[in-house]
Amino acid sequence: MHSFPRVSFSITYILFSVFIVSGICAQDYQVYWQQPEYILSPDDSLFLEQLEHDTFQWFWEKAHGSTGLNPDRSTETSSENNLISIASVGFGLTAYGIGAEREYVTREQAAQRVDMALRALLRGTMARDAQGTIGYRGWYYHFLDANTLSRAWNSELSSIDTALLLLGVVFVRNYFDNPENTLETAIRDSATVILNRVDWRFMRNPNNNGISAGWNPESGYINWEYRGYNEALFLYLLAVGAEVNPLSASSYLYWKGSYRYESTGYFEHPFITFAPLFGHQYPHVWYDFRGIYNDELKILGDKYDYFENARRATYANRAYAIANPRSWPNYAENDWGLTACDGPKNFGFNGYRARGASAPGVVDDGTIAPTAAGGSIAYAPEIVIPALRYMKEKYGAKLYTKYGFRDAYNDSVNWFDTDYIGIDQGPIIAMIENYRSGLVWETMKKDPVIKNGLLKAGFTGGWLDEGSAVQNAMLLDFDYKLMNYPNPFNASTIIHFEIPKTQHVTIEIFNTKGRKVASIVKGEMTAGQHVVQWHVPALASGVYWVRMQTSSSVLSQKMLFLK
């Protein structure tokens, strides 16, 4: 089992100064309002452990039996649901690793489930056909029929939902990292195939470099691109950080060009706004934004990061509930949370809708979703934990069952959802684990796709500045690039390199004594990205170096071969 430092979240706040979080979260931040110190009590710890376990059980027990893929939703007692949400699968893959780490299941059980799911994703047909296909050009349809592994509901080829799936794939590629375990090696190999076959340029609008919301075989592209701010922050970071067919940094510039910086009327401190809390939560599930900065954040302070921004969004959401301008009977300091969720539509209210109140255009019909608070625990534990405990205690079995919180409730009409929704369950378990141990964040940092995407998008500081000079040179030099994955590896590894112009390229492998043991590439190569696989001959286990030499650059990368 992996060993991650357990986090003590004893937080001290000083007005107009900085706060310090001990352990893994030690960073300096500017804070702009004063809150009392929050200390995790023994009862809090027991509550979080129970909630994390129960939420995991939903992903584990409600997964499709023969594929391991996760449904869009289910009730507590519903039989196997064949309607798969690929976004739910991304959260499910992440949950499987968390379950292994917490010993809710064994590591072997989790690996078997992940392997089953990845094989299913690869087994489906990728083609342009409207029916009988799982996706096209590496992208997946939003909803799938688990029995046929093909498009369901005539759903779109979804960019945002595929990206959520891919983040789960990146997580398992790095969590199951034992080079001597054949099952875990198979997981890494399958994950790499899924990641590298995505044609990111297929979803790019060439007129503005934005990423389309999706594509349909019957009608073509959805005439709308994601622009900030919303949850698609992770979509653009994945796109520019991809090892194969990435987008240029100009796509990220398009994304952030429409940000709004404002206060809400209920919360005085400005932030980059997006009303439903899921838009602030999803990127933080897999990306550790603590103490890393970008130009679009500097208008709010030199040390302002997306972690602080999500914290402000959470406080603004709660502040709206406390103000309660529509006089809902239950809204209060511990009864809050507007985000995308189900609703009591049969009462004349909204059904499933993105609710929120931190930007113009309030959507509020009195419906609260526990995931709105639960997914914010890492950056606002002092208001989230009391709220979640209050909800469980006040509403009891109407809201909380063996699978944790039901999706939503509306106290004004005594309505409690019967469903659990994968994309709402996911932030709860993942962000609780990030709060408790940092597991998901630390695992994701191992993958070059994550770090490369952040650097290419202009992020600096914090953990991005860590690592060897060779690693940083590779990540920062975007004209020439050399990396291999997996690393460590056995049997074979994939070598990825990029050159800015057509030229002669030599790629060779050396042992630690400087003796050449293999020649991988030798000859003229065209500009762009290239991928080659090196099948290791009869060599001893140990450290080797892959070196790329061109007419104007030499790059080297250390590799670890384990039989």
Residue 472 lies inside a defined structural domain of this protein: no
> Do 399 and 516 sit in the same domain of this protein?
no
Range name among 7-16, 112-121, 469-478, 500-509 with the lowest pLDDT average: 7-16
Q: Of the residues 444, 465, 487, which one is the last residue of a structural domain?
A: 444
Question: By three-state DSSP, how is residue 117 classified?
Answer: helix
> Do 440 and 481 sit in the same domain of this protein?
no
> Do 419 and 522 sit in the same domain of this protein?
no
Averaged pLDDT, 244-256: 94
Reported as a single tens digit per residue, the pLDDT across 226-243 is 999 999 999 999 999 999
Residue 460 lies inside a defined structural domain of this protein: no
> Do 166 and 231 sit in the same domain of this protein?
yes
Give the per-residue pLDDT at 13.
Answer: 26
Report d(CA 80, CA 58) in Å as an integer. Answer: 12
Reported as a single tens digit per residue, the pLDDT across 387-445 is 999 999 999 999 999 999 999 999 999 999 999 999 999 999 999 999 999 999 999 99
> Do 161 and 39 sit in the same domain of this protein?
yes
pLDDT greater than 70 at residue 31: no
> Do 149 and 72 sit in the same domain of this protein?
yes
Give the per-residue pLDDT at 285.
Answer: 99
> Do 532 and 389 sit in the same domain of this protein?
no
> Do 488 and 342 sit in the same domain of this protein?
no
Residue 458 lies inside a defined structural domain of this protein: no
> Do 234 and 340 sit in the same domain of this protein?
yes
Q: Which domain holds residue 501?
A: 477-561
Range name among 287-296, 406-415, 505-514 with the lowest pLDDT average: 505-514
> Do 363 and 306 sit in the same domain of this protein?
yes
CATH code for the domain in which residue 481 is found: 2.60.40.1930
Side chain identity at residue 528, one-letter code = G
Residue 464 lies inside a defined structural domain of this protein: no
> Do 440 and 487 sit in the same domain of this protein?
no
Burial 318-348 (b: 16+ CB within 10 A, else e): bbbbeebeeebebbeebbbbbbbbbbbeeee
Residue 208 lies inside a defined structural domain of this protein: yes
Residue 466 lies inside a defined structural domain of this protein: no
Residue 4 lies inside a defined structural domain of this protein: no
**Per the structure, how many domains does the chain have?**
2
Q: Distances in Å between the alpha carbon of 110 and those of 59, 167, 183? A: 12, 17, 11
Question: By three-state DSSP, how is residue 555 classified?
Answer: strand
CATH code for the domain in which residue 61 is found: 1.50.10.140
Q: Cβ–Cβ contacts within 10 Å for residue 182, how many?
A: 11
DSSP state, residue 398: G
Residue 325 lies inside a defined structural domain of this protein: yes
Report the predicted TM-score, pTM, of the whole model to 2 decimal places. Answer: 0.79
> Do 204 and 149 sit in the same domain of this protein?
yes
Q: Of the residues 402, 419, 444, which one is the last residue of a structural domain?
A: 444
